[in-house]
Structure 1
Amino acid sequence: MVTLADGAQYAGVSASTVSYVLSGKRPISEGTKQRVERSIRELGYLPNAGARALASSRSNIIALMMPLRTDMYVPVMMEIAIAVATNAREHGFDVLMLTGEEGPSAVRRVIGSGLADAVILMDVELDDGRLPLLRESGRPAVLIGLPSRTTGFTCVDLDLDFAGAGALCVEHLAGLGHREIAVIGEAPAVYERKTGFAERTVDGLRSRARQLGLRVLHRPCEGTYAAMASALGQIFTERPGITGFVVQNEQAVEPLLGLLRQDRRAVPEDVSVVAVCPEQVALQGSVRLTSVTIPAREMARQAVDHLIAKIEGRADDEVVLLEPELVTRASSGPAPA
């Protein structure tokens, strides 16, 4: 294993000079600095992480708070988490994942321990109890999602947040002649927590539907086959004229398509289905879904890049909005005559 002393001997300098080059605590001539850096690269010397932290007063660790709740679609959460870890590593940071449903207590633990230089929050609620603690701490933070108040944070989300995604779905169905639409939403607990992305999607969808003169029926759903069967039965009992569905619940997609087939309602000839979901969900179903894609990897990349900029003092708080895009596939067509 290559040591700091080996690097110093190879470069022809003292061990303290190598240490100063690595920590930046003292000015070193450019020629000496380049010689030390070249020696480090050629020998493959990796400074001890603990020593780096002591030298720089940083841990080079980002805390990712990602509660893995049973009512959330875990694959897309994990896609974001993997992208966060990969991009953080490119900046020389490691990621500490906190997956419990601890809320503010997890923030207290991370801040109190000094384990992490900064925090990324997922599953952001409109009035999130974790945010006041982060604001008070002054710790750099980025939210993937939008709370009701964004002051003091950088936030990454879809353009017009998820409200824009909901509006796109309505506009697409309205353009095909559909006048009555049902929305299959997330599990009821997601709305009870006032989770930002779910609330905003429905708000944007309803607002655009009113402008276009469409009728909308929203039903939360656990996403199981039994729950979907119950919800679908109620929907067609209350609004038998519904010809368009918007689904914002990845787990409900296949149960919905299967139940429509069972009810002899062809997609898209009798009923059109549009989803707000990751691309792999839209492409791998029994019908290729028209969808507004959740750009999980790009949201993660933007979150990490902006967080690193904040750690290094190169960025102020801002709201970063990614443009949603609706891709038309086999699940949507003209409303039946």
Structure 2
Amino acid sequence: MVTLAEVAKAAGVSPSTVSYVLSGKRAISEPTRARVEQAISLLGYHPHAGARALAGKRSHIIALVVPLHTDVYVPVMMEIAISVTMAARQFGYDVLLITNDEGPDGVRRVARSGLADGVILMDVQMDDPRIAVLRETGTHSALIGLPRDARGLACVDHDFVRAGRLAAEHLAELGHREVAFIGYPAAVYERHAGYAERTRSGFEEGARQLGLRAVHRPCDGTYESVAGVFTRILADRPGTTGFVVQNEGAIGPLLSLLRAAGRVVPEDASVVALCQEPLAEQFSPRLTAVSGPTRELGTRAVELVMSRLNGDVPDDVTLLTPVLSRRESSGRAPTKVA
């Protein structure tokens, strides 16, 4: 780790001058300040959290821990990251991106180094090991996601339980009785990603209460994977007429496979996707979709961090209400399945 003395040597000044530049407690000439700031940038120096606290300074940086998985849908993750960045700028803050492959150690490093004033976690697991570090270090934080135990945490997320139930209710209202849920890859459920677990539980509970015969199948999202899942569903349950998809990569292949099987959408089979509106509009037929305001997740997360930085630290869980938009891909259940 780069020290203050090394910065001073590179800039050709005393360590105290570097300290004054960082703290702003004493006037420093512009040429000297420029040399110090250049040395800080070149060496990648970050003042220790304790030192910055003594100086009464903040870094004016929020660390955003973004998912680094091949099974996440990148456009949505990028939209959230952009909304975090834009909201942070409204408060005079910049955003430092940290990848979640570092796990709890990465969060601990950021917290102890004083690199950032607050941390926002994405891709939250039901029993996320990073949360223990946030509690241990007392880091000002917000979660874009909802863990199993949210006590003492500030969280914002879509109401995925409600989203899953909305899909089940829609198919039930249309008269479908045998339905299939095509989900994310098995790895997503194995790491207990909250968004996947909660949607599935909402759908399955809704299906039970509504008297639907439902099956859930994980899927990698490739054409071959979707074909395998689709074939097994129809082999096991040939009367399936309703499909719910929470896997952006699986939507196109599913529509193609239904056409190849001679099942016209929506006359012979209905498809409901859990995805954002722009994606739902791209397919033919246009998809009935359950969605929520993605950008609001990032904006609200920044607001929660800023509230905590300003001393307001109550538990705060915000669940954004999903909306079902009906389009051409869903219709009345057929009286006879081909």
* TM-score normalised over the length of structure 1: 0.82
Matches within 5 A, 1:238-257: 238-257=236-255
Residue 74 of structure 1: aligned partner: 74
Cα distance in structure 1, aligned partners of 2:285 and 2:117: 45
User: How far off its partner does 1:286 sit?
Assistant: 2.7
Give the ranges of 4+ consecutive aligned residues of structure 1 lying more than 6 Å apart after TM superposition. Answer: 48-51
Cα distance in structure 1, aligned partners of 2:91 and 2:254: 42
User: Is the CA contact (8 Å cut-off) linking 2:176 and 2:242 kept in structure 1?
Assistant: yes
Residue 322 of structure 1: aligned partner: 320
Q: Supply the AA of the counterpart residue of 2:309.
A: I
Residue 3 of structure 1: aligned partner: none
Cα distance in structure 2, aligned partners of 1:306 and 1:284: 34
User: How far off its partner does 1:24 sit?
Assistant: 11
Residue 142 of structure 2: aligned partner: 142
Give the counterpart of 2:226 among 216, 228, 240.
Answer: 228
Give the counterpart of 1:179 among 177, 180, 198.
Answer: 177
Residue 335 of structure 1: aligned partner: 333
Residue 194 of structure 1: aligned partner: 192
The answer as to 2:59 corresponding to 1:59 is yes
What are the ranges of 5 or more consecutive residues in structure 2 without an aligned counterpart?
Answer: 1-22, 26-36
Cα distance in structure 1, aligned partners of 2:147 and 2:312: 24
User: Is the CA contact (8 Å cut-off) linking 2:292 and 2:321 kept in structure 1?
Assistant: no
Give the counterpart of 1:262 among 236, 260, 275.
Answer: 260
Cα distance in structure 1, aligned partners of 2:172 and 2:305: 39
SS at match of 2:101: coil
User: How far off its partner does 1:68 sit?
Assistant: 2.0
Residue 290 of structure 2: aligned partner: 292
User: How far off its partner does 1:285 sit?
Assistant: 1.9
User: How far off its partner does 1:315 sit?
Assistant: 4.6
Residue 163 of structure 1: aligned partner: 161
Aligned residues: 290
Question: For each residue in 1:233-254, what CA deviation from the matched residue of structure 2 results, as whole angstroms up to 9, or x when unmatched?
Answer: 0000001000001100011111
What are the ranges of 5 or more consecutive residues in structure 1 without an aligned counterpart?
Answer: 1-22, 26-47
User: Is the CA contact (8 Å cut-off) linking 1:276 and 1:294 kept in structure 2?
Assistant: no
SS at match of 1:103: helix
Cα distance in structure 2, aligned partners of 1:100 and 1:191: 17
Cα distance in structure 1, aligned partners of 2:102 and 2:24: 38
Residue 300 of structure 2: aligned partner: 302
Answer with 96-105 or 210-219: which moved more. Answer: 96-105
Residue 18 of structure 2: aligned partner: none
User: Is the CA contact (8 Å cut-off) linking 1:274 and 1:332 kept in structure 2?
Assistant: yes
Q: Supply the AA of the counterpart residue of 2:210.
A: L
User: Is the CA contact (8 Å cut-off) linking 1:120 and 1:144 kept in structure 2?
Assistant: yes
Q: Supply the AA of the counterpart residue of 1:223.
A: G
Cα distance in structure 2, aligned partners of 1:93 and 1:315: 19
* TM-score normalised over the length of structure 2: 0.82
User: How far off its partner does 1:206 sit?
Assistant: 0.7
Once superposed, what is the RMSD of the aligned Cα atoms? 1.9
Cα distance in structure 2, aligned partners of 1:330 and 1:311: 47
Distance 1:294 1:101, change over 3 A: farther
Residue 29 of structure 2: aligned partner: none
Q: Supply the AA of the counterpart residue of 1:74.
A: V
SS at match of 1:284: coil
Give the counterpart of 2:216 among 215, 218, 227.
Answer: 218
Distance 1:24 1:164, change over 3 A: farther
Residue 280 of structure 1: aligned partner: 278
Cα distance in structure 2, aligned partners of 1:96 and 1:294: 26
